């Protein structure tokens, strides 16, 4: 599957938010004389505030997509493409915002690298000269081709899927009820692999022949109902796990991938404890050699073209039981290369304690209140980093009510940070700013209950803790902003307002009920 095998010595020099560095810590190799396979391993230390989602190899370079985690505000995290050449980070390219989708494929076709969302016809092709993404409309669902057939596949979710073999010479199409299989070929025989089934197709012309209204093109354009098409025929099932329960997608063991070695179809096979090289015989899996323990391979939803097109650019991605340890695997004939990545970046903020959280709040007030009209977003961003706040800036626009923007500023940029005080209270802040002048026009600070509906803490304990937190906040603001302008207390809501001599409005609201506790502070300039 991979033409060239090599160790990757990566030095990562940037991440989504801060500079990142990486290095190979060690390497090792195991050769099994009986199986004939050699397994090479290296460990690479990185610092990337993101999760690896897609990866492929193109012209001896690695193209790896990372997605920033979403901890608040919903939506999808920002994606970046990391390009590695000769073991070093070459450059990082932002991905189009339109590609922030749950169902995304990243693959190489016709010497182009393409990002394709499954639910959108528009895709993007990477321009390697300008490091930009060019929008393209015409993309298809081709997953394999040779001089006889072009193979297409569609996944209809709970309705299953279909795979078409289109005869290059006649244009006629033949279909089987199989969803996005991995395709290998030995001589003239095709092997279609799924996690729990492997089919052998000696002659695709013996599959169900499509009438004109049931071709891939008509199904893809939505002109035909997604029903089964004829009695299944034209293939042999050489392996099937009949114990698999369809709704249980985490079921193990299963086949991760397949490859050809010395005219034999072999598989990467994963159990709940380890991964193996294996072969399927007589509806059973025979393991040949263990690859590694406690690793779990994964792929992104509807991401399957890279497994088939060209046949040499698939990098198998895997997790381990440790959140900060993950990796890539390459296969080259009888050589297996495992790259273990140790990620030193924090993907979630740690608990800092009440005292430090309150200290950061006081520092924020000292930075915000004295000269709010001249508060620059770039300056407060540097301070938040110094204080150890965790950047959670969303990748989409967050609006602000007109009552908190009475001057009708154009709030076209923002920064947000999160602090985990303890297992009960989290504290987030959002700065709303005008991009042109880099000036903050409003800020919202929230203290939220992290326990949720099912928590071991009593309602009274949580209520008392939020009341103490409100007292701390109120006292800090009163020391800096003076006497309250207004106070209103209802059954479950307390509202307090201050106005400074310079016209700065500070509004504090506490809400509490049986399952919800929240304190919100809003700071903005009055007219």
Span 18-51, pLDDT tens digits: 333 344 455 566 666 567 889 988 887 778 889 9
Q: What average pLDDT does the segment 266-277 reach?
A: 93
Which of 176-180, 367-371, 510-514 shows the lowest mean pLDDT across its residues?
A: 510-514
The total number of residues written for the chain in this structure? 527
- Look at residues 165, 154, 167 and name the one whose alpha carbon lies nearest to residue 226: 154
Short-list 417, 416, 410, CA closest to 435: 410
Tell me what pLDDT residue 21 has: 34
| Torsion of Cα atoms, 302 then 306 then 311 then 317, to 10° | -90
Looking up tokens 């002659």 gives 203
pLDDT, one tens digit per residue, over 412-462 is 999 999 999 998 999 999 999 999 999 999 999 999 988 765 566 777 888
More confident of the two residues 134 and 76: 134
- pLDDT of res. 159: 76
Burial group, residue 387, by CB count within 10 angstroms (0-12, 13-18, 19+) = middle
Residue 62's pLDDT is what? 85
The angle that helices 459-481 and 354-368 make with each other, rounded to 10 degrees, is 30
What percent of the chain shows pLDDT beyond 90?
54
329-348: average pLDDT: 88
The token pair at 506 is: 């500070």
380-384 average pLDDT score: 97
Instruction: Reduce the secondary structure of 226-258 to three states and give it as a string.
Output: CCCCCCCCCCEEEEECCCCCCCCCCCCCEEEEE
The DSSP H or E segment spanning 138 is: none
Identify the pLDDT of residue 24. Answer: 43
C-alpha distances out from residue 152 to 42, 163, 183, 252, 404, Å: 37, 6, 11, 28, 53
With a cut of 80, say whether residue 226 has pLDDT above it: no
Alpha carbons 415 and 378: distance in angstroms, whole number: 9
Q: Which of 106-120, 280-294, 378-392 has the lowest mean pLDDT?
A: 106-120
pLDDT at 130 > cutoff 70: yes
Given a cut of 60, whether residue 230 has pLDDT beyond it is yes
Query: Where are the domains positioned within the chain?
Result: 23-343, 354-525
**What are residue 123's DSSP bridge partners?**
136
CATH number of 23-343: 2.120.10
For position 1, what pLDDT does the model report? Answer: 39
- The mean per-residue pLDDT over the stretch 285-303 comes to 89
9 token code pair: 């010595």
Average pLDDT, the chain: 86
Q: Alpha-carbon distance 5 to 374, whole Å?
A: 56
- The pLDDT of residue 6 is 35
């Amino acid at each position: 599957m991979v033409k060239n095998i090599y160790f990757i010595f990566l030095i990562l020099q940037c991440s989504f938010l801060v500079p990142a560095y990486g290095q190979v810590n060690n390497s090792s190799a195991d050769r099994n004389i009986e199986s004939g396979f050699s397994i090479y391993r290296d460990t690479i230390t990185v610092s990337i505030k993101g999760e690896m989602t897609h990866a492929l190899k193109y012209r001896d370079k690695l193209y790896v997509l990372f997605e920033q985690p979403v901890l608040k505000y919903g939506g999808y995290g920002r994606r970046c493409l990391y390009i590695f050449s000769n073991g070093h980070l070459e450059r990082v390219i932002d991905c189009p915002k339109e590609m922030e989708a749950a169902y995304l494929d990243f693959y190489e076709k016709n010497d182009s690298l393409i990002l394709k969302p499954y639910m959108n016809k528009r895709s993007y092709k990477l321009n390697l000269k300008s490091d930009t993404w060019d929008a393209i409309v015409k993309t298809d669902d081709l997953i394999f081709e040779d001089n006889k057939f072009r193979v297409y596949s569609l996944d209809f979710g709970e309705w299953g899927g279909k795979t078409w073999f289109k005869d290059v010479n006649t244009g006629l199409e033949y279909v089987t009820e199989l969803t996005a299989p991995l395709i290998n070929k030995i001589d003239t025989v095709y092997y279609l692999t799924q996690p729990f089934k492997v089919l052998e197709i000696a002659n695709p012309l013996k599959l169900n022949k499509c009438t004109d209204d049931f071709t891939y093109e008509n199904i893809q354009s939505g002109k035909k109902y997604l029903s089964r098409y004829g009695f299944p025929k034209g293939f042999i099932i050489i392996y099937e796990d009949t114990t698999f329960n369809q709704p249980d997608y985490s079921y193990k063991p299963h086949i991760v991938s397949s490859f050809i070695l010395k005219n034999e179809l072999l598989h990467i096979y994963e159990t709940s404890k380890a991964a193996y090289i294996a072969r399927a015989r007589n509806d059973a899996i025979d393991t040949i050699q263990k690859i590694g323990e406690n690793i779990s391979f994964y792929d992104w939803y509807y991401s399957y073209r890279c497994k088939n097109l060209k046949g040499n650019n698939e990098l198998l991605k895997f997790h381990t039981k440790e959140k900060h340890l993950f990796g890539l695997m390459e296969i080259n004939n009888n050589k297996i290369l495992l790259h273990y990545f140790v990620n030193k970046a924090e993907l979630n903020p740690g608990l800092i304690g009440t005292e430090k959280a309150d200290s950061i709040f006081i520092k924020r007030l000292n930075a915000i209140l004295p000269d709010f009209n001249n508060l620059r977003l770039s300056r407060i961003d540097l301070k938040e980093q110094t204080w150890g706040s965790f950047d959670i800036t969303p990748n989409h626009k967050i609006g602000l009510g007109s009552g908190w923007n009475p001057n009708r500023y154009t709030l076209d940029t923002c920064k947000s940070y999160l602090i985990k005080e303890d297992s009960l209270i989290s504290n987030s802040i959002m700065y709303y700013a005008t991009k042109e002048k880099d000036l903050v026009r409003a800020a919202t600070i929230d203290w939220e209950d992290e326990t949720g509906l099912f928590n071991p803490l009593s309602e009274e304990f949580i209520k008392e803790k939020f009341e103490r937190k409100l007292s701390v906040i109120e006292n800090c603001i009163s020391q800096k902003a003076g006497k309250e302008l207004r106070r209103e207390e209802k059954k479950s809501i307390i509202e307090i307002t201050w106005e400074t001599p310079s016209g700065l409005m500070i509004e504090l609201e506490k809400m509490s009920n049986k399952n919800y506790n929240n304190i919100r502070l809003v700071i903005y300039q009055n007219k």
